[in-house]
Amino acid sequence: MIPYFHVDAFTQTPFAGNPAGVCPLETALPAALMQQIAAENNLAETAFIVPRPGTSGEYDIRWFTPAVEIDLCGHATLASAHVLFQHLNFQGDAVTFHSQSGPLRVSREPDGRLTLDFPSRPPQELTTHPTGLTDALRATPLHVLAARDLLVVFNTEAEIRALKPDYARIAALEYVGVIATAPGTDGIDFVSRFFAPRVGVPEDPVTGSAHSTLIPFWAAKLGKAELRARQISPRGGDLWCQLREGDRVNISGYAVTYAAGELLVNT
């Protein structure tokens, strides 16, 4: 049997934010089994965490969508830290996860928020748009940039809310995902949505890793290092963001546990 937690990340209330599965393990599982579990859970990501021998407060972490393993995931990392702090009696104020994207530190703030220390992935503007992008989005962006994901920039929040992309064409663009963004209103610096059908996630509710690209873009555009962000998917989520020196960003948010139990899986 495997301990299992279902956590809604980047929200303070259930049924919002981005749901993640978290499996705390004593030893690593075969990758094929982790992929099967993630497919069965059918959440955007399931995280698997294993304590590192000979360390205190350090874990290995891997993330799986229903279709593939990915190299960086914000909301499931936030959810994993939440499980350690809230359910597994972790005593420190910070935990370090070792991942394909290097060490990721998560600290617990006095107000209950958790802060991810993530790599910065600044986008570069493309001189030519990927073939089929406008048809895939069913809209024409103002700017198109790229890092791991495509970043498409629009003028208004209303345009982001109105997007109804063609997921099959989005998946054919050969990027992990497409981030759509625009300036925010009412104290929110920028809004976004994230589409990743190529890796089995048609629309991700709240995407921490996308903010590794959004934060340096908007910090440069707005001339400020601290930003408030909102992902305006149907579930929605709120993020507190900071561009730091040394190619890092801080991404903060709340998390709440929806369910806890065991997976009846032989390991």
pLDDT of amino acid 55: 85
- Range 167-191 average pLDDT: 96
pLDDT tens digits along 19-67:
999 999 999 999 999 999 999 999 999 999 999 998 888 999 999 999 9
Q: Domains of the chain, with CATH numbers? A: 2-118+252-263 (3.10.310.10), 124-245 (3.10.310.10)
Question: Considering 26, 40, 45, 109, which one is annotated as catalytic?
Answer: 45
CB atoms within 10 A of CB 260: 14
**245 tagged catalytic:** no
Contacts 24+ apart (CB under 8 A), 100-104: 100/62, 100/71, 100/72, 101/71, 101/72, 104/61, 104/77
Positive or negative: CA dihedral 46, 166, 11, 226: positive
Average of per-residue pLDDT across 253-263: 98
Percent of the chain past pLDDT 90, that is, above it, reads 93
Q: Is residue 266's pLDDT more than 90?
A: no
Judged against a pLDDT cut of 90, whether residue 253 lies above it is answered with: yes
pTM of the predicted protein model: 0.94
Per DSSP, the three-state class of 232 is: coil
Residue-averaged pLDDT of the chain = 96
Asked whether 233 and 204 are in contact (CB, 8 A), the reply is: yes
196-223 pLDDT, tens digit per residue, is 999 999 999 999 999 999 999 999 999 9
